[in-house]
């Protein structure tokens, strides 16, 4: 095994390329060593940036129009080939006053004004022989979606909800809802 020690390796000519090894070779980096990207190098893969927010402000509606839950967050991708992985945790409650089934809540995820996930309805149906009494359903929703925004401009992601029956709550009971966005190298 040979060893070369130097402080800098430069390519021949302006804007040249330095190649380490050949196709199929393995370049080992010892434990404790770090690689610093001080420029615009790409191709390292993995997580580029992570942003997150939370709210425990309960919102409710009796309407079927989709409204914001308060889980709204912007991210600016560093590359147009990047993906954005969206993770949402939000407790919802639906109310149904005229059925023996529990109330449903509609959910959808938007990138700016475009629906990218949903709409979906969350509910656990219950069987009960007693009619005409309030039926509630509470769910902890875990939503995940991998988006390809194809831009380096800021994009805003949000969770919206509506009432599929008589009434719906998001961030129900003041439980903390969380929205996390991760830029992943494309």
Tell me, yes or no, if the pTM score tops 0.75: no
Lowest mean pLDDT of 16-30, 109-123, 168-182, name the range: 16-30
98 is written with which tokens?
A: 């005229």
* Sheet strands (E) in the chain: 47-55, 59-61, 67-75, 83-96, 105-111, 114-122, 135-147, 155-163, 167-170, 177-184
Q: State how far the Cα of 92 lies from the Cα of 138, in Å rounded to an integer.
A: 6
Quick one: DSSP state of residue 22? -
pLDDT tens-digit readout, 112-121: 999 999 999 8
Question: How high is the pLDDT of residue 165?
Answer: 87
What is the chain's mean pLDDT, rounded?
84
Question: Residue 23 carries which DSSP code?
Answer: T
Residue 77 has pLDDT above 80, yes or no: yes
Q: What is the DSSP string of 100-140?
A: SSPP-EEEEEEETTEEEEEEEEE------S--SS-EEEEEE
List pLDDT tens digits, range 149-176: 999 999 999 999 999 988 999 998 889 9
Taking 70 as the threshold, does the pLDDT of residue 129 lie above it?
no
Domains of the chain: 47-184 (2.60.120.760)
Cβ-Cβ contacts under 8 Å for 181 (sequence gap 6 or more): 50, 51, 52, 73, 75, 84, 85, 86, 87, 157
Pairwise pLDDT comparison (36 vs 184), residue with the higher score: 184
- The percent of residues above 70 in pLDDT, for the chain, comes to 81
pLDDT band, residue 46 (cuts 50/70/90): confident
- Please, are residues 185 and 45 in contact by the beta-carbon 8 Å criterion? yes
Higher pLDDT among residues 123 and 18, named by residue: 18
pLDDT digits (tens, 9 = 90+) for 80-100: 999 999 999 999 988 888 766
Task: Say which residue, 91 or 17, is predicted with more confidence.
Answer: 91
Under the banding of pLDDT at 50, 70 and 90, the label for residue 127 is very low
Greater confidence (1 vs 78) lies with 78
């Amino acid at each position: 095994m040979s060893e070369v020690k130097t402080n800098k390796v430069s390519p021949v000519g302006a804007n040249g390329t330095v190649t380490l090894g050949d196709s199929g070779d393995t370049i080992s980096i010892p434990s404790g060593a770090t690689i610093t990207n001080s420029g615009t190098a790409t191709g390292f893969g993995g997580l580029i940036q992570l942003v997150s927010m939370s709210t425990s402000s309960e919102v409710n509606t009796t309407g079927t129009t989709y409204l914001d839950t308060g889980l709204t967050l912007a991210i600016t991708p560093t590359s147009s080939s990047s993906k954005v992985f969206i993770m949402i945790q939000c407790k919802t409650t639906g109310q149904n006053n005229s059925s023996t089934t529990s109330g449903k809540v509609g959910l959808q995820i938007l990138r700016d004004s475009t629906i990218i996930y949903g709409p979906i309805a969350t509910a656990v149906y219950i069987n009960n022989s007693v009619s005409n009494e309030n039926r509630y359903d509470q769910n902890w929703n875990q939503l995940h979606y991998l988006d390809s925004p194809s831009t380096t401009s800021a994009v805003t992601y949000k969770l919206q909800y509506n009432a599929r029956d008589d009434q719906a709550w998001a961030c129900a009971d003041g439980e903390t809802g969380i929205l996390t966005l991760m830029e992943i190298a494309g």
